[in-house]
Structure 1
């Protein structure tokens, strides 16, 4: 054991003994680091540079300045080479600095390479990011470590990235967007005439419900779903719009379909022979979908500012929505009274290079294999998109707010969903299309 590592570990063992033991148990060669030289030096880990190689302190100052000087408590996610920590500790207003480690193996390496006198600062609190279920505000997240987060801390990493991206995502849903306002105007009369979604509240009190999303693994369940739909006392079948056509082609008629997106058109959600399925929609979808639907129609919206003016004159029930149609679908299921909800096809990931069951590659999402990842039910990394990770985070938050409902996941090959246990009945035979 090097003198530097022993010195750092002695502080850790005194202040955070459990964390110290966990870090000491990690293999010394657990991270492949490369020295990068410039006007200064830094480390490169898996192709990711931890900090500037020209002026680390100036970079750290920019990062520290993103949090108000008046903040009494600050949460720092990642340490990089540690320059930002003394800058925060030096602030007169700071009372607590919570440092959340995003990669435990990386930090164990840094303990061997860097002096860390700041570990002894009384204001500093150190823990793995995964020890908290939710991100804490105000926070500062170091970009390199968001890329290097370990599987253990991936869930917090995903929530940090979603929070950072939120202001940019919200620009897509501006209340001033002329195209979207024109769409609302086109749908206004039909929206006002259709039944309020609140009429469905409690309709299936105590029921079991299968929520069908279009992830690649949905196709594994077609045979069983065809059998179920013919049974008496069967679960309610509720699907999202992009799962509807693949299900119909497989001979399955959902009881309900939910659609919210501006880009949904009759080619994705056709109204032909839809008389046995109820449509729950936001007034942003293509008017031809609404007008061509033969089954019951229920009007809904979300709390998005783009619906505020319409909602002030045509009040309709609001469903939870944070970007994915899966969100209002699961909210609808809960409002209808379902007490056991099983997710099928909610993969949030690329499975066998596919993102959606029943649709050509690249039609609904980019077909290029992404570099982002989530952890699946086998503890493995699976490729995904940033927006999929964000949708998953908000689904998990919704689940956490509804302890009265039992949530289940019907497939381990897609992303793990915190709060949804695996249903072995549906998980049987995984790995077979």
Structure 2
């Protein structure tokens, strides 16, 4: 224990005793840390610098400039080297600064080798521990280093921060109409006018609906799903587009396929094998693929203003979009008045180090090797499973959808896939006996 740590922790013990006890309980022996000297000095932890070694204050000011003007209450996620809270409290007219620690061991390291007593003593400052239940509150800034280095308790909050940034980026990218998508809309004008509306599928209520994704766990469920699909009074089966290939290869013909992505083509939709299968599509798909579909086609829109040009041509109902084709597939099941929705192959993660069933690594523009090791979620066994930032945002959107549909019971059959709040686990064998 250093003299600096003793001085720093004394203030924390006086003001936030629970936070102090947690910090003191940590070990820093597992951290690969050392000083890095440039124009400024910083600390490197596990290969990540906690601040710039060239111009720490320029980095701080760049970060603070992200805040809306006249921000009187600010939330800071991640301590870094303490430059951000110090500058915010000493130089900005804040009423309150909430500092949430994303990695407690790194906090102990920083408190051991740097003096943080000035801002820790400031009555405007409040110190918090990140927990899996922590919420993201605006306006905020964050230590970019600790977004990578967040510990297990800070990982959920880290994910929420990354999703927030991703959403902002996506919103900016949609501020102007995508000329390629608008060209697709123009190509599909005749189809939009002649094809049926997705709402026609709502007319026949369904008590139980199976929604099939192409996640790695689908492979182990195919034999059971095949038996279910052969029953005379089988439940309705809705498949996402990338799940159609493994289903057909195993003699399973879904009732409905949902497709929304402009990159989906005949390799995924297999139109020559589509007789008798309904296709629910967003008009972003290639008209050549749509025309070749042998079953009935139903048009759906997203709620985004991007679809306003099509709404002016002909009204079609909207399906929920949260970034993945899984979301409109689930929304379709609910709008068909399903009392129970069973998710099969909807892993939203990479169990067994695979991305999808039936598709090789990279075939669906997703590579295991490119996934950051710090991006993970808990599966239905309570174990960590690697995922992607996109999948994390899809989980978040699906959980939000489930929360506002309390009259529908959601089940997932995979123990290896991501745990989805509000979704009960049911073994595929039990599902077969239930249906």
Q: TM-score, normalised by structure 1?
A: 0.90
For 2:96 and 2:312, the matched residues in 1 are separated by 44
The answer to whether the 8 A contact 1:173-1:304 is kept is no
Q: Where do residues 76-91 of structure 1 align in structure 2 (5 Å cutoff)?
A: 76-90=76-90
The alpha carbon displacement at 1:49 in A equals 0.9
With over 3 angstroms needed to count, the CA separation of the structure-2 counterparts of 1:85 and 1:212, relative to structure 1, is same
Q: What does residue 389 of structure 2 align with? A: 386
Q: What does residue 378 of structure 2 align with? A: 376
Secondary structure at 1:279's aligned position in 2? Answer: strand
For 1:231 and 1:398, the matched residues in 2 are separated by 30
Q: Kindly provide the CA deviation profile for residues 369-401 of structure 1, in whole angstroms up to 9, marking residues without a partner as x.
A: 124221232444433333233323322332233
Q: What does residue 302 of structure 1 align with? A: 302
Q: Kindly provide the CA deviation profile for residues 274-327 of structure 1, in whole angstroms up to 9, marking residues without a partner as x.
A: 333221110111213322223332210112232111112311111121321112
Q: Give the root-mean-square deviation of aligned CA atoms.
A: 2.5
The alpha carbon displacement at 1:174 in A equals 6.2
The alpha carbon displacement at 1:247 in A equals 0.8
For 1:13 and 1:403, the matched residues in 2 are separated by 43
For 2:302 and 2:109, the matched residues in 1 are separated by 47
Q: What does residue 250 of structure 1 align with? A: 250
With over 3 angstroms needed to count, the CA separation of the structure-2 counterparts of 1:427 and 1:87, relative to structure 1, is farther
The alpha carbon displacement at 1:417 in A equals 2.5
Q: Is the counterpart of residue 201 in structure 1 residue 202 in structure 2?
A: yes
Q: What does residue 183 of structure 1 align with? A: 184
For 1:184 and 1:421, the matched residues in 2 are separated by 39
Secondary structure at 1:268's aligned position in 2? Answer: helix
Gaps of 5+ in 1: 429-433
The alpha carbon displacement at 1:416 in A equals 2.9
Q: Where do residues 32-47 of structure 1 align in structure 2 (5 Å cutoff)?
A: 32-47=32-47
For 2:251 and 2:181, the matched residues in 1 are separated by 34
Gaps of 5+ in 2: none
Q: Is the counterpart of residue 344 in structure 1 residue 354 in structure 2?
A: no
Secondary structure at 1:392's aligned position in 2? Answer: helix
The answer to whether the 8 A contact 1:410-1:427 is kept is no
For 1:134 and 1:194, the matched residues in 2 are separated by 43
For 1:229 and 1:99, the matched residues in 2 are separated by 53
Secondary structure at 1:152's aligned position in 2? Answer: helix
For 1:193 and 1:91, the matched residues in 2 are separated by 63
Q: What does residue 405 of structure 1 align with? A: 408
Secondary structure at 1:272's aligned position in 2? Answer: helix
For 1:359 and 1:427, the matched residues in 2 are separated by 27
